[in-house]
């Protein structure tokens, strides 16, 4: 505050105080000298304060500003790479070859009529079981007529007798029943060998080649240049998929699945037999035999279950027909008959 204003005000105040003191009535006489002293002290204090130099006013203080921090460029963020999916390893099932083409045969003039009128002799032994015959059904699919077709079933004397009576184009020996342990027990060795050497067709279904060292079994193995590699056994707790039949895609043998009836491999099992169910065959070095089906191996000369040889005039099946479904095996048997008769009447040219 300005001193020129303060001093007159204090002088006026003192004057008023003194006047008031003298004007007080008798009832104010009780005011003591102490009050006057206190008032005087207060005035002196104000005078002293005013006599002190006033501090120089500070310049307006600027609000501190934040020191700008160095701009840090953000580290470039790498573009996220698309997640790489590690493919599961391809599991190669025990039986998974793929057949990319359907084999076809070049038509031979007059061949169909010759097949239709072929002479066929059959021995079919399924044992003492109530099993549905498959071969007769396969023959029905081919609509054969004009030739002589005889199925002796398990009548062995009739079969051996018929062997000598007719010039057969095809002989079928189906020893699926577990009663026929050795092919030699059929007593047909000489007639069958003569038939084959003269260009006749032969189909054999037999599950016990591994234990059969008889002359007829040995003749078939030698003719095809194959041997038993391993006995095929089905035990309790078996894996169903291990018994599916696939096309091994080995040359003309593949036509067994496509001509004249198209079968879509794999052929799925419909299990009947257990224990010893067949034999896995192996080709000898230099063998021209082909495996239509079998267990898949890195070596295609091993583990055959359906063998063709002798320019397609012989078929050896070493699994059991009734372990597989009715309609597919019926068509398969029709294809067997058509295949071997085709090669009997019109053998392929030598390679």
289 vs 291: CA distance, rounded Å: 7
324: in domain: yes
Return d(Cα 18, Cα 101) in angstroms, integer. Answer: 138
Residue 253 in contact with residue 314, Cβ under 8 Å?
no
Per-residue pLDDT tens for 98-118? 444 545 556 677 999 999 999
Does residue 214 belong to any structural domain of this protein?
yes
Three-state secondary structure call for residue 101 = coil
* Domain that residue 123 falls in: 111-345
Residue with tokens 């005087």: 40
Asked if residue 88 is part of any domain, the answer here is no
Which residues of the chain, if any, have pLDDT below 70?
1-107, 349-351
Strands 304-309 and 290-294: antiparallel
Question: How many structural domains does the chain have?
Answer: 1
Domain assignment present for residue 338? The answer is: yes
**What pLDDT is stored for residue 16 in this prediction?**
54
Specify the pTM. Answer: 0.71
Closest CA to 133 of 143, 145, 141, 125: 125
Rounded Cα–Cα distance for residues 59 and 129 (Å): 123
With beta carbons less than 8 A apart as the criterion, state whether 310 and 196 touch: yes
Cα distance between residue 310 and residue 65, in whole Å:
105
Find the angle CA(188)-CA(193)-CA(196) to the nearest 5 degrees: 125
pLDDT for the residue 93: 40
pLDDT digits over 281-333, tens only? Answer: 999 999 999 999 999 889 999 999 999 999 999 999 999 999 999 999 999 99
Segment holding 289, helix H or strand E = none
**Sign of the four-CA dihedral 93, 326, 258, 232:** positive
CATH of the domain at 132: 3.40.50.880
Which H/E stretch holds residue 14?
Answer: helix 3-23
What pLDDT does residue 54 have? Answer: 46
* CA pair distance 188, 168, nearest whole angstrom: 14
């Amino acid at each position: 505050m300005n001193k020129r204003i303060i001093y007159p005000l204090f002088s006026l105040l003192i004057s008023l105080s003194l006047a008031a003191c003298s004007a007080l009535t008798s009832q104010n006489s009780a005011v003591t000298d102490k009050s006057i002293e206190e008032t005087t002290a207060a005035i002196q204090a104000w005078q002293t304060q005013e006599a002190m130099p006033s501090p120089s006013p500070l310049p307006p203080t600027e609000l501190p500003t934040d020191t700008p921090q160095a701009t840090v460029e953000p580290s470039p963020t790498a573009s996220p790479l698309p997640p790489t999916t590690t493919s599961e390893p391809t599991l190669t099932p025990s039986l998974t070859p793929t057949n990319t083409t359907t084999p076809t045969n070049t038509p031979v003039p007059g061949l169909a009529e010759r097949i239709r009128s072929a002479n066929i002799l059959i021995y079919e032994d399924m044992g003492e079981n109530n099993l549905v015959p498959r071969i007769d059904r396969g023959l029905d699919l081919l609509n054969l007529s004009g030739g002589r077709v005889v199925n002796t079933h398990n009548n062995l004397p009739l079969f051996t007798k018929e062997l000598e009576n007719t010039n057969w184009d095809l002989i079928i020996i189906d020893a699926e029943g577990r009663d026929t342990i050795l092919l030699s027990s059929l007593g047909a060795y000489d007639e069958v060998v003569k038939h084959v050497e003269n260009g006749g067709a032969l189909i054999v279904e037999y599950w016990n080649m591994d234990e059969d060292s008889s002359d007829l079994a040995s003749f078939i193995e030698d003719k095809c240049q194959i041997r038993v590699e391993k006995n095929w056994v089905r035990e309790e707790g078996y894996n169903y998929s291990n018994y599916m039949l696939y096309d091994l895609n080995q040359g003309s043998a593949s036509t067994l699945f496509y001509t004249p009836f198209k079968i879509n491999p794999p052929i799925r099992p419909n299990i009947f037999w257990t224990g010893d169910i067949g034999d896995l065959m192996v080709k000898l070095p230099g063998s021209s035999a082909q495996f239509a089906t079998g267990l898949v191996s890195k070596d295609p000369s091993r583990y055959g279950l359906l063998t063709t040889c002798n320019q397609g005039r012989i078929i050896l099946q070493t699994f059991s027909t009734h372990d597989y479904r009715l309609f597919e095996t019926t068509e398969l048997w029709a294809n067997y008959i058509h295949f071997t008769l085709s090669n009997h009447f019109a053998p392929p040219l030598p390679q």
